Each structure stands twice: as C-alpha cells, then as structure tokens.
Amino acid sequence: MADWLWINGRLQARSEAAISPFDHGVLVGDGVFETLVARGGVPFAALEHWERLVWSCEVMGLMPMSWEDFERAIATVLDANELAEARVRVTQTSGDGPLGSDRGTGRGTVLVTATKLGMWGPTERVLVAPWTRNENGALAGVKSVSYAENVRALAYAKARGCGEALLANTRGELCEGTGSNVFVVRQGRLTTPPLASGCLAGVTRLLVLRACERAGIECGEEPMPMELLRECEEAFLTSSTREVHPISEVDGRALETGPVTKAVAEAFANLVRSRADGAPARQSHP
C-alpha cells in the first residue's frame, strides 16, 4: 500500500491520516469517486475523469473540486509515493453529517490515494448476476461510492470461479459489469449498451468508441436483450484498469478472442499512444 495520501488539500502520511467517523461517505455512501491509471507517472485521460466527476457531483448535489486541485492532488500523491505505474482513486463525499440521510452543513471531504497498478489475466470469465440495475434510479450512471450492490455481485461471480459479473437492467437488457462496461460481437457486428440502459458512462468505453471511429470499426450503441449473450461470438470488457479485456467465458459458454476484439484492442492501443495532449473527449451523460 502507498504511504502518502491527500486529504482536503494536504498531503498526509497513511499512518496518521484519518477520516471523521461522521463522514457521510462512510455512514450512508453519500459521495462519488473516480478511478484512473497513471503510466510513466502521467495520469491517463485525467480531463475526461474530472469531467465525469463534475457531472456526478452535479447529480448528487455536491460541490466538485476544481480541475487545478484534481490535477495537483493526483500529481502530488504520485510523486510522494514514487509511483509511475499506478491506480489512482479520487473520492469526494458530502463530509460530516447526522446519523441519518440528512446532510450536514460543513464542507465535503476530498481523498486522493494511489497504489501500484495491478495486472489482469489475458482474458476474463464472467457470469450474469441474479440482480438488476435500475436504469430509472436516482443514481443511474453516477459513479457513486454506494458500491455495495457491485461488491455483492462481484463476490457472487468470484464464488463461482469468475472474475466479473454482468447485470441486466429492469427491462431485461444488458447493462454493465460491476466495474466495467461490456461490448459484444454478433454476426460480426460490434455493439455496446447505450447510456440510457443505466450503465456507467465509462471513460474507457468512450475512448474505445472514439478509437473504433478512428479505425473505421463500426460500433452501435443500442439496447440488447440478455439473450444476446447466448448468441454472440465475441465479447470484451472495458475499464480504466482493464482497457480492452477479452471475455473467454460467459455463463459457462466459451468465447474466442476473435478478429473484432483484436482489432478494437489494437485501435485503442493506437489511441493511447497518440494522446499526448490530454485533450478531453466530451460525452453526453444520461
């Protein structure tokens, strides 16, 4: 674990850092967060992540941190921990509050941490969880710290020998994974659930769509029945840490890492190599 972290504008040693026991992020999950990666000491797609953090804060009624603070806090934590290849997490909560759902009146809490970037296997086994996402819920599409549903679904998958769980929405459509977006290939055609499905507006999802466009790979954003998972030839997950991660098995049915998945992975790698300016790729949130 890293030795230094950022709390409310100040670098602190992990051994001395503390969050109030009355912080609503702890008590009721009243907060938002972002996970991004740093490579060579440089945060990737930082502006896109900050834009999504701002949108999540707006939905939650929180005051988002400024771009300058976001950038400075991440750089400070990476430097203090001497991390070049890192997983970075930025968390904002509403701060101290009463022992209930009402918020307090104090300032919120900002926490920035970083750890060494881990490695995924070459492919992932997934299964469909028995629970659904509510695409009409108050937090649909928000990267909220209220992640207990994700924790339970992922534990369900891991108990059955898989590394990710996929969830349907209330309409019985494919939505997302617990920490990833999903793309499928059927009859050679690549599709991913639209944001209206209730899925997270993943930054890597967005960049994969941009990479496909640049490479001339057609990709549709459209509602998909869960039955499509029994018919697709290829599928892959996307996230900041997974990037383009092929699915080798879904609900016990084997899948190949086929030509479309390989082409998308190459297109995404090319986009990553070309992004030296850090310019944001704006997206429409649900």
**Could you report the per-residue pLDDT of 2-51, keeping only the tens digit for each?**
899 999 999 999 999 999 999 999 999 999 999 999 999 999 999 999 99
Contact 281, 207 (CB under 8 A): yes
Kind of pairing, strands 124-133 and 164-169? parallel
**Could you report the per-residue pLDDT of 191-218, keeping only the tens digit for each?**
999 999 999 999 999 999 999 999 999 9
Cβ contacts of residue 207 below 8 Å, gap of 6+?
Answer: 45, 48, 268, 271, 281
Per-residue model confidence (pLDDT) at position 276: 53
Per-residue model confidence (pLDDT) at position 61: 95
Per-residue model confidence (pLDDT) at position 1: 72
For residue 181, the surrounding DSSP H or E stretch is strand 181-186
Q: Among 94-103, 191-200, 221-230, 273-282, where is mean pLDDT lowest?
A: 273-282
For residue 182, the surrounding DSSP H or E stretch is strand 181-186
> From edge to edge, which strands make up the β-sheet containing 86-93?
10-13, 4-7, 109-116, 86-93, 31-39, 42-43
**Could you report the per-residue pLDDT of 251-280, keeping only the tens digit for each?**
999 999 999 999 999 999 999 998 754 444
Per-residue model confidence (pLDDT) at position 275: 77
Question: pTM for this structure?
Answer: 0.94
**Integer angstrom CA distances of residue 172 from 120, 177, 273:** 29, 14, 38
Domains of the chain: 4-116 (3.30.470.10), 124-274 (3.20.10.10)
